[in-house]
Structure 1
Amino acid sequence: MRKLKLIWDFRGPNAHKIAEHHEIHLKQYIQLEKLDILITGIEDINDNHSIAFMVVNESNMPSVRDALKPHRGTVFTE
């Protein structure tokens, strides 16, 4: 099954800290909804741009997308 990486972008001098905090909320959502999602994380794109992300199965994407409103997504490759 194809996996999708849902991405939330944060920009500015506090982007890294905001992305770290957002990942906490992503993990809480996974627990509350009892989802089979094991991959979350943050990445620094540059000093003023960081992302938080979660990887979902394509079949789960519509419900997660509608609930959490990611900024964008891409196909996940390991």
Structure 2
Amino acid sequence: MLAADRIVSGRGDLPREVLEEGRARGLRTAEILSFTSMAFSDTGNMLVAVKAVTDAYPLRGDVIIADEPFVRDDRYKLDRQLERFG
């Protein structure tokens, strides 16, 4: 759970009633599951980090997928509140 700049994480799910109470009070949530694993192919093996997210992720901004790391795209947008920080 991410609340402002706070993250609550653990090995198990938060109790459903805790999430429902938070949502009733206006809390927006996105669920994330991440783990490391080995990826195997004909050309070699690689340790990978896998992340699965719900449709609500990210709560602000956009996720952009690129062929190269750190590529800025015209679709890249930030919330107006974040733009003032440069």
Confirm or deny a common fold (TM above 0.5).
no
Which one has the largest radius of gyration?
A: 2
The TM-score with structure 2 as length reference comes to 0.27
Higher RCO, Cα 8 Å, sep 6+: 1
Q: Which has the higher strand share?
A: 1
